[in-house]
Amino acid sequence: MLYDDNNIFAKILRGELPCEKVLENDYALAFNDIAPQAPIHILVIPKRPYESASQFLQNAADQELVAFQRLVGEVVSLKEIHDSGYRLISNTNRNGHQEVPHYHVHVLGGRDLGRMVF
Ligand code: 5GP
């Protein structure tokens, strides 16, 4: 499948739509989810165009993979959610109910998140 340049996160990356930025580095951007499902709900996205987790994990350069994971770690550290606990989610395609076709990791925390799958 071809990457859709008009998806919402692509527009955020181009500065065509606003976002509440939390952190960024050369390869990734972290911002608040517009419809938070928990007191802390942050999305981390790569700056380059990858549609899904699979595409990112298979095609991103090592430097990019590392920078992305580091930013997730920095978000956790900034929000101080390690001790209380948190959850990382990457919804993918139909069964995963992925709505925005630009790879993203949800960082959720700040409350008891319940069981993993519901
Ligand atoms: P998905 O279901 O693809 O894993 O999740 C997409 C997420 O993007 C949802 O949690 C949704 O609330 C969030 N989202 C959708 N549109 C926007 C937007 O314009 N800005 C921000 N910050 N988040 C958005």
- pLDDT tens per residue, range 9-33: 999 999 999 999 999 999 999 999 9
DSSP 8-state symbol, 17: S
- From the CA of 31, give the closest atom in ligand 1: 22
pLDDT one-digit tens code per residue, 34-90 = 999 999 999 999 999 999 999 999 999 999 999 999 999 999 999 999 999 999 999
Sign of CA dihedral 70, 104, 62, 27: negative
Q: How far is the CA of 40 from the centre of ligand 1 (A)?
A: 14
